[in-house]
C-alpha cells in the first residue's frame, strides 16, 4: 500500500491512490492532516487546472509547499479532485 513519508512520519497511506504523470495522488481520507498547513502558493497546469499547496510541519521542521491539491480541476483531471500529491523530499513507498 503506497505511503508518503517525510521526516520519519507517515503523512498519507492508501491503496486507492491515483497515478498521474508519475505521481501518487492520495485520497483526502488517507491524509494525516495534523502535519498539513495551508499555503498561499498556487500553480497552473494547462490540462489539470490550478493547484493549491500545503506546507508540511513534522517534528519542528517545515517543508514549504511540499504537497499539492487540485480542489477544482479541469474535466480531464476530475479523478484527482481533492487528492494530494507530494514532492520536495517526501518519499512515496509502494
pTM > 0.85: yes or no? yes
pLDDT at 69: 98
Give the CATH H-level superfamily of domain 3-93: Domain of unknown function (DUF427) (2.170.150.40)
Beta strands in the chain (DSSP E): 3-6, 9-13, 18-20, 23-25, 36-45, 49-58, 61-69, 84-86, 91-93
Residue recorded with cell 521526516: 7
* Those residues with Cβ within 8 angstroms of residue 78's Cβ, 6 or more apart along the chain or in another chain: none
Domains of the chain by residue range: 3-93
User: How do residues 18-77 score in pLDDT, each as one tens digit?
Assistant: 999 999 999 999 999 999 999 999 999 999 999 999 999 999 999 999 999 999 999 999
Amino acid at each position: 500500500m503506497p505511503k508518503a513519508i517525510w521526516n520519519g512520519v507517515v503523512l498519507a497511506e492508501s491503496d486507492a491512490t491515483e497515478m498521474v504523470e508519475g505521481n501518487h495522488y492520495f485520497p483526502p481520507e488517507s491524509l494525516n492532516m495534523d502535519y498539513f498547513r495551508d499555503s498561499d502558493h498556487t500553480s497552473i497546469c494547462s490540462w489539470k487546472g490550478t493547484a493549491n499547496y500545503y506546507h508540511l510541519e513534522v517534528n519542528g521542521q517545515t517543508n514549504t509547499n511540499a504537497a499539492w491539491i487540485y480542489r477544482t480541476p479541469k474535466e480531464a483531471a476530475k479523478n484527482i479532485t481533492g487528492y494530494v500529491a507530494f514532492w520536495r523530499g517526501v518519499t512515496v513507498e509502494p
